[in-house]
Structure 1
Amino acid sequence: MPWILILIFIIMPAIEIGVFVWIGGQIGAGWVVALIILSAVLGSLLARQQGMETWRRAQRAMAERRMPSEEIVDGICIFIGSVFLIAPGFVTDAFGLLLLLPITRRPFKKLIKKWLAFIIAKRTFFFRRF
């Protein structure tokens, strides 16, 4: 677990700063700021649209008296993708977009399903303290 925190709080910001500097050198600082704002706005609109569609599919599944398991995993992906898109940075935006688009979401859904199955098999529903 500590290696994930190192990745999140040290390595990712360093990568994002490097990408900011490189792209800023290519197109200028003003355009970089505009792209960051534009990606956050468009990402939030896409997340809202995908979230509402997933919500409708979940309601339809429950109306058909079946468990909306696919929709729950889609919702997890959409939530994580939304967080990535709102966070400033081009690398996180790319990951966020991959999680929001239904076509590119499939591999991530498989990973999340495996992770959830592992947690359920171990009966560790709560995260351990570190």
Structure 2
Amino acid sequence: MHHHHRLAVAAAVLAVAALSTACSGAKSASDSKHSAAQSSPAANAKSPAAAGAPAALPYGPGPQAKYTVQAQPAAGSCHAGTDHRQPLPDPKCTPGALNPKVTPTTLKSTICKAGYTSTIRPPGSVTGVEKTAN
């Protein structure tokens, strides 16, 4: 794996850890049983990369009013990698993106809010077709 990919992955991991900490401070007592793990990784990766490192992920369009089935990579074209024996997805097949609506000021109403992920996840009629294609 190239050095800049490791830096980007490291920056994304640090961002997830930082936002998980932010959520624990933003939750109410009734929300404490829900974890930040319920939110998507792309949404959690909303943080600038470490100094000198490339941006971890580009900004995506954010939640959509309507989702469509996306074309899937050709069979056998994706290859998982590893970094320090930890699995990493093929960035060409699982590129990820930041949600522009998730910012430090919107944490309480986005990724730290119980049930938020279900409000932005595409419907099963889309993801089911994509899973079958994969």
User: TM-score, length-normalised on structure 1?
Assistant: 0.34
Task: From the two aligned structures, give the one with the greater strand fraction.
Answer: 2
Larger Rg: 1
Q: Name whichever structure is richer in helix by fraction.
A: 1
